[in-house]
Amino acid sequence: MISHVVAWTLREDVDRDAAIARVRELLTGLVGTVPSIRSLEVVENVAYPDKNSDLAVVATFDDLAGLDAYQVHPEHQAAAAEIRGLVTGRAAIDWES
């Protein structure tokens, strides 16, 4: 199984709650659309806002091929493009378990 985590820092000029809700809507909407997603959750930071990212997506896939299929899926590409307009920073990690 491949776990995929991407964390973002929101732009200071966006409404935090609205931006988080939009990212959650965009990404959870991919479940059932992108066949390789096994699980997907969008989480909001609740501690140390001066040090931590604002939100993250935590997703799982059967294998690297599934993650690759997610990355290039047109619906994911559209969601990622909109998310890029809401954030200033991004960090990601993928691991196998």
Query: How is the beta sheet containing 87-96 ordered, strand by strand?
Result: 37-44, 55-61, 2-10, 87-96
Residue 26, Cβ neighbours under 10 Å: how many? Answer: 20
Query: What is the predicted pLDDT for the residue at 20?
Result: 98
Q: For 2-25, how does the pLDDT look when each residue is reduced to its tens digit (9 = 90+)?
A: 999 999 999 999 999 999 999 999
As a whole number of angstroms, the distance between CA 72 and CA 82 comes to 15
As a whole number of angstroms, the distance between CA 90 and CA 34 comes to 22
As a whole number of angstroms, the distance between CA 48 and CA 4 comes to 23
Question: What band does 33 get if pLDDT is binned at 50, 70 and 90?
Answer: very high
Q: Domains in the chain, start-ordered, CATH in brackets?
A: 2-96 (3.30.70.100)
Q: For 45-91, how does the pLDDT look when each residue is reduced to its tens digit (9 = 90+)?
A: 999 999 999 999 999 999 999 999 999 999 999 999 999 999 999 99
Residue 85, Cβ neighbours under 10 Å: how many? Answer: 10
